[in-house]
Structure 1
């Protein structure tokens, strides 16, 4: 079993990443013009297309596809949590 399955990304659904898509080259295409993802529902704090969201929004799958050869899963989590705190 891989590390991602053993320890999922500790997302608390705060929506900070969805409110700041303009800050990353990988997510700029989701910007509705004010830095917020056009799929983000501000009244529920949830994604309107969660089941079909882009790969960049699927943390574990994005990691497996693009970053697993560069970072250990625990290090990737740490880096991303530091980014979350800055947002």
Structure 2
């Protein structure tokens, strides 16, 4: 059983969808996801786009390139970067 992605539900990734062409279509006009509510919860979480599903992205694009643990490590580093960007 793989360790789940340690998401803190801070919303920082959802507040910066403008940073990637893969998520730019979700931008509500201020850089944040149009589905992000004021309490940092995804309003369509159960039906969220595939790009927002860490485990699916790993399975589809990265499982042949790296381990799940390495993938988590890279994504946690990206998460910390985004948190620093939002909080600075």
Counterpart of 1:37? 33
Runs of 4+ with deviation above 6 angstroms: none
What are the residue-to-residue correspondences of 1:16-27 with 2, within 5 Å?
A: 16-27=12-23
Q: Identify the structure with the greater helix proportion.
A: 2
Residue 48 of structure 2, aligned match among 53, 57, 60: 53
Q: What RMSD in Å do the two structures reach over aligned CA positions?
A: 1.0
Higher strand share: 1
| 2:18 corresponds to 1:28 | no
Measure, in 2, the Cα distance between the counterparts of 1:24 and 1:75.
21
Matching residue of 1:62:
57
TM-score, structure 1 as length reference = 0.88
In structure 2, the gaps of 5 or more residues are 83-88
Q: How many residues align?
A: 82
CA distance in 2, matches of 1:30, 1:83: 19
SS for the counterpart of 1:19 is: helix
